[in-house]
Each structure stands twice: as C-alpha cells, then as structure tokens.
Amino acid sequence: EVFTKPSDFFAEMSRTAGFGPPVTFLAICLAIEGILGSLIAFNPMPLVMAIVSLVFAFIGAWILQFVLQQLFQGKGTYEGTFRVVAYSGVVHLLGWIPFIGFLASLYGLWLQIVGLEKVHEVSKGKAFVAVIITAIIFFLIMIPFGGLLFVAR
C-alpha cells in the first residue's frame, strides 16, 4: 500500500509501534536490492551498500527530524520520521534494475515527502524542502567518504 497509496498508508501508519517492523521491512528491501544488484554486477559492492544504507536510514531520519522541527515546527517524533524513511525504502525492491532504479529512487523521495507531510503535519512544500536540505547534507557528508572509496580501489 505504501507504493500505490502512500497518502493513505502514511495517514494510517502507527507512529509509536517500535522500530522493529520498519527496520525489518527496510532490511529486507535493501537485502533484495543488494543481492540482485551484486548478482547482476558480479560485484559484492551493492550488498555492502545495502548494509551501509540501513545505517544511513537512521542518520537521514535524524537529519530530517532536526530540519523539520527547527525550520518548520514539525510535530512528529524521531520514530515517526524513521518509519517514513524505512517504509519509503520499498523502492529499493526496484533499485537493482538499471534506469528503473533511478526512477524508483526519485519516487522514494516523493514517498518521503508524502509521509513527512502526514507525520509532521507540515505542507508538502515544507516536507520537500526538508528532504532537499537532508539530501544536500548527505552529499556534503559523503564527499570525503567518496574520496576514500576511490583511493581504496
């Protein structure tokens, strides 16, 4: 339902049922993407990135939470924000397919916007800005790590 009716899904989503179900859901989606991506590329890197992505989901949710509360007086909790990030990860099921994976990742951003609108009771515009700011912060954080990966090859 998160993929086909995100507004309904996030409106009905529990915001306080614990981290277990969303972590499990995201881990399964990332594992499928990592395994299939590794098989297609004959390279273990997609599987490694799947594991790293699970950690980054927690960091990304924290950044989103901070931005939404500080800039837009968002009303959601960290757990609710993480749940949005995790369930938006459904797009990882398509992430291993060339080009389709890119389009799916864009749709994943849209899913986050819809979810954050519901959880934080902000407009889609404010949720969009929060997602963009978070993406920029992640990009800036990743620049040094990208250099390390390049040197490590």
Residues 87, 78: contact at Cβ < 8 Å?
no
Cα–Cα–Cα angle for 79, 128, 109, rounded to 5 degrees: 70
Q: Is the pLDDT reported for residue 151 higher than 60?
A: no
Structural domain containing residue 83: 6-152
- pLDDT number for residue 46: 67
Q: Tell me how many domains the chain contains.
A: 1
152 burial class (0-12, 13-18, 19+ CB within 10 angstroms)? exposed
Helical pair 78-88 and 45-72, crossing angle rounded to 10 deg = 140
Answer yes or no: is 11 within a domain: yes
Which residue did the predictor score with more confidence, 1 or 147?
A: 1
- pLDDT number for residue 77: 94
Answer yes or no: is 23 within a domain: yes
Q: Is the pLDDT reported for residue 58 higher than 60?
A: yes
Of the pLDDT bands very low, low, confident and very high (cuts 50, 70, 90), residue 16 is confident
Answer yes or no: is 67 within a domain: yes
- pLDDT number for residue 38: 77
Mean pLDDT value across residues 54-82: 94
Answer yes or no: is 27 within a domain: yes
> Can you tell me the distance from the alpha carbon of 109 to that of 83, in angstroms, rounded to the nearest whole number?
14
The answer for residues whose C-beta is within 8 angstroms of residue 146's C-beta and 6 or more apart is: none
pLDDT tens readout for residues 82-140: 999 999 999 999 988 888 989 999 999 999 999 999 999 999 999 999 999 999 998 88
Which residue did the predictor score with more confidence, 94 or 144?
A: 94
Mean pLDDT value across residues 37-53: 76
Answer yes or no: is 1 within a domain: no
